[in-house]
Structure 1
Amino acid sequence: MPHIALPEGLPGIRGAMAFRPETAKPLNELVEVLLHNPGTLSEGERELIATYVSYLNDCHYCQSIHGAIAAAHLNGDEELVRRVKADFQHAAIPDKLKALLVIVAKVQKGGRSVTTEDVAAARRLGATDHEIHDTVLIAAAFCMYNRYVDGLDTIQPHDEAMYRERGKAVAREGYVAISKTYLPAEPVAR
């Protein structure tokens, strides 16, 4: 049961965003830029970063939905998503992404945990400053999103099919476009 009266039928962050659409807009715009807009890391790789930090934060909703979005971008490979969460060092992902996930884990613990050596290792494997920047920002932003979802005790279903279908829609349409399905056109007066 959520800590506040969130709109019914909207699990996870969707309920919180529908409760306060004026804050949802910039949050959706940020995630659109970080995860959906074109970049040198694939959308699937960026979604794996969001999934992994959400897994480390034990946020069921976020790791499930972003894992489903990642799988949708990765030809439906749900097993790869599970493998990345369980043991990314042995998952079939590029070494550059593995180095970036090391940075993700450090950011999740605290930004100052990231070392010069971590960044140098990622660079040696081909990571650009832009990719390192976005990896840190995705990890930091998802720590916030995870705490938002869990701090309000939002509804977090365990229906894999629901996440799978929603994940396909978000992968196809993006965050800003899909938010129009649950956010009012005009902010609600409170």
Structure 2
Amino acid sequence: MAHIQLPEGLPGIRGAMAFRPETAKPLNELVEILLHGPNSLTPGERELIATYVSTQNDCYYCQTIHGAIAAASLGDDEALVQKVKFDFQNASISDKLEALLVIAGQVQKGGKNVTSDAVADARTAGATDMEIHDTVLIAAAFCMYNRYVDGLGTAQPRDEAMYRERGKWIARDGYVSVSKEYLPADVSR
């Protein structure tokens, strides 16, 4: 049960964002840029970073919805998403993504935990400064999003089909477009 009166029928961050649309707009724009906008990392790779951090933070809603978006972005490869969540070192991912996930995990524990060795390993694996930057920002942002969702005690249904369907929708249309379903027209523009 939510700690405050959130709109009915909007689980997770959707309810929190509908409660306060003026803060939802920049939060949606940030996640759109980080996970869905143009980048040398694919949307699927960036969603895997968000999913991994959300799993480490034990945020059921975020790890499940972003895992569904990642799977939809990666040819419906749900098995890969599960492997990355719990054992990315043995997942079928690039050395570069593996090195970036190490950095993301360090950020999740605290920004000062990021090591020069981890950054050097990412560079050796082919990561650019922009990819390292964006990995740190995705990890930091998802620590905030996870705490937002869990800190308000939002509804987090266990209906995998709902997450899968919504994941396909977001993977196809992006965050800002999808947010129009619960934000007033004058705020979601």
Q: Identical aligned pairs, as a percentage?
A: 75
Q: Tell me the CA shift for residue 142 of structure 1.
A: 0.2
| Aligned ranges 1:156-175 → 2 under 5 Å | 156-175=156-175
The question of 1:69 aligning with 2:66 is answered no
Q: Tell me the CA shift for residue 186 of structure 1.
A: 3.5
Aligned to 1:85: 85
Aligned to 1:128: 128
Q: Tell me the CA shift for residue 28 of structure 1.
A: 0.3
Cα distance in 2 for partners of 1:158, 1:184 equals: 27
Cα distance in 2 for partners of 1:184, 1:16 equals: 14
Aligned length: 187
Q: Note the residue ranges of structure 2 that are not aligned, 5 or more in a row.
A: none
Q: Note the residue ranges of structure 1 that are not aligned, 5 or more in a row.
A: none
Cα distance in 2 for partners of 1:115, 1:184 equals: 43
- Residues 39-79 of structure 1: per-residue CA shift (max 9 Å, x gap): 10000000000000000000000000000000000000000
Cα distance in 1 for partners of 2:34, 2:142 equals: 11
Cα distance in 1 for partners of 2:79, 2:38 equals: 25
Aligned to 1:10: 10
Q: Runs in 1 of length 4+ with deviation above 3 angstroms?
A: none
- Residues 3-46 of structure 1: per-residue CA shift (max 9 Å, x gap): 00000000000000000000000000000000001110000000
* Aligned alpha-carbon RMSD (Å): 0.6
Cα distance in 2 for partners of 1:34, 1:57 equals: 19
Cα distance in 2 for partners of 1:186, 1:138 equals: 27
Q: Tell me the CA shift for residue 86 of structure 1.
A: 1.2
Cα distance in 2 for partners of 1:148, 1:13 equals: 7
TM-score by length of structure 2 reads 0.98
Aligned to 2:39: 39
Q: Tell me the CA shift for residue 84 of structure 1.
A: 0.4
TM-score by length of structure 1 reads 0.97
Matched residue SS, 1:92 = coil
Aligned to 2:60: 60
Q: Tell me the CA shift for residue 151 of structure 1.
A: 0.1
The question of 1:147 aligning with 2:155 is answered no
Matched residue SS, 1:123 = helix
Aligned to 2:108: 108
Cα distance in 2 for partners of 1:86, 1:130 equals: 26
